[in-house]
Structure 1
Amino acid sequence: MAASQSEKKVVVIGIDDREASTYAIRWTLDHFFPSPIFKLVLVHSRPAASSAVGFTGPSAGEIFSILDSDLQKTATKVIDSAKQLCIEKSVHDAALEVVEGDPRNVLCMAVEKYHAAILVVGSHGRGALKRVVLGSVSDFCAHHANCTVMIVKKPKIKP
C-alpha cells in the first residue's frame, strides 16, 4: 500500500555544484525513490554576497553586485541540474529551494522546517586535518541535525 503525500517521510538532500553532490542525488534517487515512499526536498545553500566581500570603499558596491549575480547564476545551475536528475529518475514532485546562508545552518533548519526523517549530504573526501581547518558540513549536520544524517561518499576507483 503506497503512502499518501501527507504520510510520506521527508528526505532532504543538501546540494551544491560539486561532483560529490551530484553523486549523492543520484545515489539517493536510485536507492530511495524507485518506489515513492518518501517526499524529496533538495536544498542549495547560497552564500550571502556580503559575507564574501570583505572590504569597503567606492567599488565595493559594484563588486557586491557582480558577486551576487554570479552566486545567483551558480544557484540556478545547481537547481536546474538537480531538477534534471530527478526527471531522469521519474521523480516529478521534488521540492527544490535556494536558501541564503551557511550550508551547515541552512540544512539543519531545512530538517526542522520539513520534519525530515533523513538528511543526505555528499562527501568531498577531505582528510581529517582539512575537515578541522575548513569545517565540514557533514560533520556539523551529523552532530546538530535532528534526524538521521546519511553521508554519501563516491567510491574511489582503484587503478
Structure 2
Amino acid sequence: MATGDHKQLMIVGVDESEPSIYALEWTLDHFFAPYSPNSPFKLLIVHAKPSAISAIGLAGPGTAEVVPFVDADLKKIAARVVEKAKEICHSRSVSDATVEVIEGDARNVLCEVVERHHASVLVVGSHGYGAIKRAVLGSVSDYCAHHAHCSVMIVKKPKIKG
C-alpha cells in the first residue's frame, strides 16, 4: 500500500455510456468518497476521443468535407463526458481527480496511459455484450484485461431482477 505522499494511481476509463458512468460512480463510492482525502489512490479519469477519420470509417468522395463536422461533434461529446465526470466527482466531494482526453481507440489509449503513468489499477465499465457482439464490436474491457500492464477492474452494473 502507498506510504507518505506517494499514492498509487487508479485510472478510470469513461465515455458517454451508462456502464462507463456507473463504473466511475462505483469507483468513487468504494475508493474515494468515503476516504477522501485519505484514499490510497490518486485518480486519473481518461476519455478516449475517436479520431474523425476512424469514426467515419470509410474514406471516399466527400470525406474531406465531412471530417470537420464529425470532429466538431466528437469534441462536443468529449466535453460533455469530461463535464459529467467532473460533476460526479464534485457530487461526491472528490476534488483532486485529473481528467484527460486523448485521441485514439479506447483500447490502445487506456493501455498506453497505464504504461505512461505506471498505474496500479485500471477501472472500466462493462456493456455486458454476449460473445458474438463482443467478437464483432470488440470489447474494451476484454482487451484491457489482457493487455494492460496493471490490475484491471471491470465494473458491471447489477441486473435488476423483477
Same fold by TM-score greater than 0.5: yes
Alignment of 1:74-85 (within 5 A): 74-85=77-88
For the pair 1:88 / 2:94, whether they are aligned, the reply is: no
For the pair 1:135 / 2:138, whether they are aligned, the reply is: yes
Residue aligning to 1:112: 115
5+ residue gaps, structure 2, are none
- TM-score for the superposition, normalised by structure 2: 0.92
Taking only aligned residues, the RMSD between alpha carbons, in angstroms, comes to 1.3
Instruction: Report the Cα offset of residue 143 of structure 1.
Output: 0.5
Instruction: Report the Cα offset of residue 3 of structure 1.
Output: 4.9
For the pair 1:65 / 2:64, whether they are aligned, the reply is: no
Residue aligning to 2:18: 19
* 1:18-76 deviation per Cα after TM superposition (whole angstroms, max 9, x unaligned): 0001100000000001212210000000100012232233x322211110000000000
Give the partner amino acid of 2:93: S
Identity rate, percent: 56
Residue aligning to 2:40: 37
Give the partner amino acid of 2:49: R
Aligned-partner Cα distance in 2 for 1:143–1:46: 22
Q: Across the two proteins, how many residue pairs are aligned to each other?
A: 156
Residue aligning to 2:124: 121
Distance of aligned partners of 1:60 and 1:133 in 2 relative to their CA distance in 1, 3 Å threshold: closer
Aligned-partner Cα distance in 1 for 2:139–2:116: 22
Instruction: Report the Cα offset of residue 88 of structure 1.
Output: 0.8
Corresponding residue SS for 1:120: strand
Residue aligning to 1:9: 8
